[in-house]
Structure 1
Amino acid sequence: HHHHHHIVIFVDFDYFFAQVEEVLNPQYKGKPLVVCVYSGRTKTSGAVATANYEARKLGVKAGMPIIKAMQIAPSAIYVPMRKPIYEAFSNRIMNLLNKHADKIEVASIDEAYLDVTNKVEGNFENGIELARKIKQEILEKEKITVTVGVAPNKILAKIIADKSKPNGLGVIRPTEVQDFLNELDIDEIPGIGSVLARRLNELGIQKLRDILSKNYNELEK
């Protein structure tokens, strides 16, 4: 009896706004680049929307005040966010993804989940091959690198993609799910930030499996 698993491909466009700026301005490539949302109050008021990896290495993070980014990375290039341009790139990439999927869920401007189960006739290895092909096609058509996770469900596909950034391809096969879950750190679960992770660590929960030994009321509190 052939076991039919869902095959989900999660696609995450790498440092998207900054990467689009690099595509349109090749002279930025390889230099620290920060895309900013200027609030207009003063010349530097506002926040960082996205930084490329060169800027991240210097400590620049999304959400950080622009003024703080400028202190830690004075040599970086700072550009204003151009949402309509990124949306046009995103729409083209989403349309391309849509062609490869039975169903698509666009999660944000730079993330999408594809159910490809029927497209690859339930064959997981073919799903991985399709993920490779998708990466290649986006790179050829739009010059954009993406990180992809392939797994039997959405959450696992996202987790393995997050662990494979940038320009990666992460895979959790159906046979690997149990081992993967057993070893998963609690803070690697989307939605569990540093504050909640710390609280859970204090309760003796380091790994996801540690919740199995906790009583529900204690966790609920």
Structure 2
Amino acid sequence: MTGLRFPLKNDLSRKIIHIDMDAFFASVEERDNPELAKHPLVIARHPSDTGGRGVVTTANYLARKYGIHSAMSAQKAYELCPHAVFVPGNHQKYREISQKVREIFQRYTELIEPVSIDEAYLDVTENKINSKSAMKIAKMIQHDIWQELQLTCSAGVSYNKFLAKLGSDFQKPRGLTVITPNEAVSFLKALPIEKFHGVGKKTVPRMHELGIFTGADLYEKSEMELMQHFGKMGYSLYRKVRGIHNSPVSVTRERKSVGKEHTYGHPLTTEDACLTQLRRLSEEVETALKRTQKHGKTIVLKIRYADYTTVTKRVTLREYIHKKEAIFSQASLIWEEIMGIEKGIRLLGVTVTNLDPLTYENIVLPLWETGDPYQSS
């Protein structure tokens, strides 16, 4: 006997926009130096300056033709395209521009969920201009960003975040895709399975083994079968392919730092004990960074002695770090400068700040015509 099944609930009441800046870092550099648009452009320090270390943050379309992509080593990128232009990137500038983009969003709604430095969800069900059209608001945001920042973005408009995200990816760059409730299932059925958010490179072969190549194939699978093979993801995909994703836009402040600290009932009095604790804290910070998908350039060490005096010292690096070994290495170097074990140490803290997202996947052709590309002809 099969159990009773509750009907699937699909919240169609919201109007959600997903805004994704087009090749953000590369586009900013090309905007500020138009000559760069003529060349394969890689946002990374040149490997000859780093001894072969470092990774690609993003690349423009010309560089992409050579197989260069984000998260690739800068050395590999150089081997693929020795004549590429390498630009280290200016993350402070990117953060400032990202904030200006956020201020444009705030003209229309306060319900903003940043996903990274270059994308965000907006709930415009109720909005500051009292418009009933989410598509109109998306067009106005695209127009404002172009007019004020000379940068382009792509937008997806739908009744949930999953579909809005698919929409912004659908016609990059400068795209605007609206997916209505009536169109959602047919749109999803036509998608290749690898386009479904959450289906990664390792999952695609497993999908193919089950005969799932498109959304239409996924739609035919039962909820139980998908859960047997993919667990929670199967539960989620069963609903998503039916256009169901009821997660609201979550208004959160962007994290500025990730840190861990411990207070010790018995003060630490040996260097070995302190280094052991610093290693432990570094591991905890790595775990937290992995969870938030961030890396940072500034390491902060906090020491509170038994007499409750507190010392904080920081170092800012040229490269991003997020691995426990690198965090511990920098924390222990700062420790060597401070020490003061004879006082007894009551608290140790390790923090990574000056954060940015680990990777940026927006690699598209960031070239556009003179004038406003969103203006109707």
TM score, norm. by length of structure 1: 0.88
Aligned match of 1:26? 34
Q: Is the 8 A contact 1:4 1:122 kept in 2?
A: no
Cα–Cα, structure 1 residues 46 and 128, in superposed 2: closer, same or farther, change >3 Å?
Answer: same
Q: Is the 8 A contact 1:5 1:174 kept in 2?
A: no
Q: Is the 8 A contact 1:9 1:150 kept in 2?
A: yes
Q: Is the 8 A contact 1:40 1:46 kept in 2?
A: no
Q: Is the 8 A contact 1:37 1:49 kept in 2?
A: no
Cα–Cα, structure 1 residues 54 and 40, in superposed 2: closer, same or farther, change >3 Å?
Answer: closer
Consecutive unaligned residues of structure 1, counting only runs of 5 or more, are none
Aligned match of 1:196? 203
Query: Do structure 1's residue 105 and structure 2's residue 116 form an aligned pair?
Result: no
Report the AA paired with residue 174 of structure 1: P
Query: Do structure 1's residue 176 and structure 2's residue 183 form an aligned pair?
Result: yes
Partner SS state of residue 52, structure 2: coil
Q: Is the 8 A contact 2:45 2:86 kept in 1?
A: no
Aligned match of 2:228? 217
For 1:11 and 1:84, locate their aligned partners in 2 and report how far apart those are by CA, in whole Å: 21
Please show how residues 109-128 of structure 1 align to structure 2 within 5 Å.
Answer: 109-119=117-127, 123=132, 126-128=133-135
Deviation at 1:121, TM superposition (A): 5.8
For 1:122 and 1:186, locate their aligned partners in 2 and report how far apart those are by CA, in whole Å: 35
Deviation at 1:196, TM superposition (A): 0.7
- Higher radius of gyration, 1 or 2: 2
Deviation at 1:219, TM superposition (A): 3.5
For 2:145 and 2:36, locate their aligned partners in 1 and report how far apart those are by CA, in whole Å: 20
For 1:114 and 1:218, locate their aligned partners in 2 and report how far apart those are by CA, in whole Å: 33
Aligned match of 1:36? 44
Report the AA paired with residue 217 of structure 1: Q
Higher relative contact order (CA 8 A, sep 6+): 1
Deviation at 1:73, TM superposition (A): 1.6
Report the AA paired with residue 190 of structure 2: E
Aligned match of 1:66? 74
Query: Do structure 1's residue 159 and structure 2's residue 170 form an aligned pair?
Result: no
Cα–Cα, structure 1 residues 4 and 68, in superposed 2: closer, same or farther, change >3 Å?
Answer: closer
Q: Is the 8 A contact 1:6 1:122 kept in 2?
A: no
For 2:183 and 2:42, locate their aligned partners in 1 and report how far apart those are by CA, in whole Å: 38
Cα–Cα, structure 1 residues 39 and 32, in superposed 2: closer, same or farther, change >3 Å?
Answer: closer
- Aligned pair count reads 217
Consecutive unaligned residues of structure 2, counting only runs of 5 or more, are 1-10, 235-377
Identity of aligned residues (%): 36
For 2:35 and 2:49, locate their aligned partners in 1 and report how far apart those are by CA, in whole Å: 29
Q: Is the 8 A contact 2:12 2:181 kept in 1?
A: no
| Higher helix content, 1 or 2 | 1
Deviation at 1:38, TM superposition (A): 6.9
For 1:75 and 1:25, locate their aligned partners in 2 and report how far apart those are by CA, in whole Å: 18
CA RMSD of aligned residues (A): 2.4
Deviation at 1:45, TM superposition (A): 1.6
Deviation at 1:5, TM superposition (A): 3.0
Query: Do structure 1's residue 5 and structure 2's residue 16 form an aligned pair?
Result: no
Deviation at 1:160, TM superposition (A): 1.6
Deviation at 1:4, TM superposition (A): 6.6
Report the AA paired with residue 171 of structure 1: V
Cα–Cα, structure 1 residues 170 and 37, in superposed 2: closer, same or farther, change >3 Å?
Answer: farther
Partner SS state of residue 14, structure 2: coil
For 1:56 and 1:65, locate their aligned partners in 2 and report how far apart those are by CA, in whole Å: 14
